[in-house]
Amino acid sequence: MDALNPQFEMIGKQFVNHYFQLFNTGRNELASLYKDVSMMSFENDQCKGTNQILERLNKLPQTVIHKCLSLDIQPTHNNGILILVCGDIVIEENKPLKFVRTFHLLPSMTGEYFIFNDLFRFCIN
Amino acid sequence: MDALNPQFEMIGKQFVNHYFQLFNTGRNELASLYKDVSMMSFENDQCKGTNQILERLNKLPQTVIHKCLSLDIQPTHNNGILILVCGDIVIEENKPLKFVRTFHLLPSMTGEYFIFNDLFRFCIN
């Protein structure tokens, strides 16, 4: 089997903290975490590549607070890292909603991790 | 970038239907969908390999109905397939609970897909 990154847990946790922090303080900087091969599904919207993904994320209101209630992280092949986040999301002044997000990170040629897969759903239906 | 399976959506859908059907009608047959390299997190329990995973799944009551409310599927590198299932789970006669499950499938040497990563959470806290 291909290489598994033994530091998957630490990297995954740091990544999630960084991601949700940037989401509010500098959402456009999230561009540095995606590449043109990245995919995102946000509810029923499908986006491919950094530009489309940022455009979709920027359609969300300015103030979006993510509260992570659980964080599960596993290594995937070729040093990838799979993350499942469940929690509450507060959009502007609305009441909290349950959400789930799966990130699949891969190392780039220079060794830094980027988001290859990103899937978001509200758990409200 | 490595190969992406163009049939990811069809394969992912068929897999999820097959998995949840076997879950009730022949749970031990789920063993054929895992390998010794497979990982599962079920809430806070961590399992590695087919035997541990089946043992954990068999601790659940006999009657567990999964109702999928959303199904998001993306290809990953090396012909992998990433699946996010959100829905309701009914355990015996209890009221439905929200759950989320992420499967990461990889092709085996013989080309059949198996579960490399499996992450389960209730969305209830």
Tell the burial category of B41 from Cβ atoms under 10 Å away from its Cβ (0-12, 13-18, 19+). buried
Residue B24 confidence (pLDDT) = 84
CB B19 within 8 A of CB B11: no
Count other C-beta atoms under 10 Å from residue A39's C-beta. 22
Question: Is the CB of residue B106 less than 8 Å away from at least one CB of chain A?
Answer: yes
Residue A3 confidence (pLDDT) = 82
What pLDDT band is residue A51 in, cutting at 50, 70 and 90? Answer: very high
User: Do A116 and B77 lie within an 8 Å CB cutoff?
Assistant: yes
User: Distance (Å, rounded) from C-alpha B116 to C-alpha B71?
Assistant: 18
Q: Which of A37, A80, A86 minimises the CB distance to B100?
A: A86
User: Distance (Å, rounded) from C-alpha A58 to C-alpha A53?
Assistant: 9
Average pLDDT rounded to a whole number, residues A33-41: 97
Residue extents of the structural domains in chain B: 8-122
What pLDDT band is residue A125 in, cutting at 50, 70 and 90? Answer: low
pLDDT of A27 over the 60 cut: yes
User: Do A41 and B1 lie within an 8 Å CB cutoff?
Assistant: no
User: Distance (Å, rounded) from C-alpha A8 to C-alpha A82?
Assistant: 9
Share of chain A above pLDDT 70, in %: 98
CATH number attached to the domain at B8-122: 3.10.450.50
pTM for the whole structure: 0.96
Residue A93 confidence (pLDDT) = 87
User: Distance (Å, rounded) from C-alpha A72 to C-alpha B76?
Assistant: 19
pLDDT digits (tens, 9 = 90+) for A69-108: 999 999 998 899 999 999 999 999 899 999 999 999 999 9
What pLDDT band is residue A59 in, cutting at 50, 70 and 90? Answer: very high
Share of chain A above pLDDT 90, in %: 86
Question: Is the CB of residue B69 less than 8 Å away from at least one CB of chain A?
Answer: yes
pLDDT of A58 over the 80 cut: yes
Q: Which of B2, B37, B123 minimises the CB distance to A123?
A: B123
**CA angle (A42, B67, B11) in 5-degree steps:** 65
Contacts for B71 with CB less than 8 Å, ≥ 6 apart: B12, B13, B16, B83, B84, B85
ipTM value for the complex: 0.95
pLDDT digits (tens, 9 = 90+) for B34-54: 999 999 999 999 999 999 999
pLDDT of A1 over the 60 cut: no
CA-based nearest distance A58→chain B, Å = 21
User: Do A125 and B70 lie within an 8 Å CB cutoff?
Assistant: yes
Interface test with B, best of A2, A116, A120 (most B CBs within 10 A): A116
Q: Across chain A, what does the average pLDDT equal? A: 94
Give the residue, A44 or B5, on which the prediction is more confident: A44
What pLDDT band is residue B1 in, cutting at 50, 70 and 90? Answer: low
User: Distance (Å, rounded) from C-alpha A72 to C-alpha A87?
Assistant: 12
User: Distance (Å, rounded) from C-alpha A92 to C-alpha B4?
Assistant: 38
Q: Which of A62-66, B39-43, B63-67 has the highest mean pLDDT?
A: B39-43
pLDDT digits (tens, 9 = 90+) for B12-22: 999 999 999 99
